[in-house]
Amino acid sequence: MDVDGHVGSLYRVLSSAVVPRPIAWVSTRGHDGVDNLAPYSFFTVASVDPPVVLFAPVDGADGLKDTPRNVAETGEFVVNLVTDDLATAMNETSATLHAGESEFDHAGLERADSTVVTPPRVAEARVALECTRRELIDIGGSTLVLGDVRYVHMNEDVTTDRKIDVEKVDAVGRLAGSWYTKTTDRFSLERPP
């Protein structure tokens, strides 16, 4: 398939081929004080030293959507981990709401205070990364958001010896369309020397 001139169909191809994708459930607070919460499946770790994560929202018809606009204006956000028990609420936060309406309230989610940034985190999330804006990069119809991780919240029920234990984290990943996957079907391979 020649990619030139096929942007619409390429979204489905790329989002179906690059799977499963972790979900950044990003909370921000606008200058108007409204707490925003939205899921983004174009998400990964960019660097460990310094600790940097990135997500890439697709722009709206009028430019930046609420999340990247809030990050641009305030310089802060929180990435909340989506686990199996939070999948339905995460999906609710992808609804298109009126200006001034919070996805936290729409989905019936409790807020928890963050430690070093202003936006709240999802109280029920077992892992949350408090971040400050490193850079926003315009890439065609998307905005790449890079953030320095400043503080990590981890519930004890997903840790062993104070480290996240992947066997205890029932994270949800994005496939394509309305399809998601669970990370409960795991296997281990030893890396060769």
Domain harbouring 93, CATH code: 2.30.110.10
Confidence of residue 41 (pLDDT cuts 50, 70, 90): very high
pTM, two decimal places: 0.92
The CA-to-CA distance between both ends of the chain, in Å, stands at 38
Q: Tens of pLDDT along 43-84?
A: 999 999 999 999 999 988 888 899 999 999 999 999 999 999
> Residue 55 falls within a domain, yes or no?
yes
3-state secondary structure 96-163: CCCCCCCHHHHCCCCEECCCCCCCCEECCCCEEEEEEEEEEEEECCEEEEEEEEEEEEECHHHEECCE
Q: Give the CB-side neighbour count of residue 153, counting CA atoms within 13 A.
A: 22
188 domain residue, yes or no = no
Give residue 101's domain range: 31-176
Q: Each residue of 101-139: pLDDT tens digit? A: 999 999 999 999 999 999 999 999 999 999 999 999 999
| Statement: residue 7 has pLDDT above 90 | no
pLDDT of residue 1: 66
How many other CB atoms are found less than 10 A from the CB of residue 140? 8
- The answer to whether residue 3 is domain-embedded is no
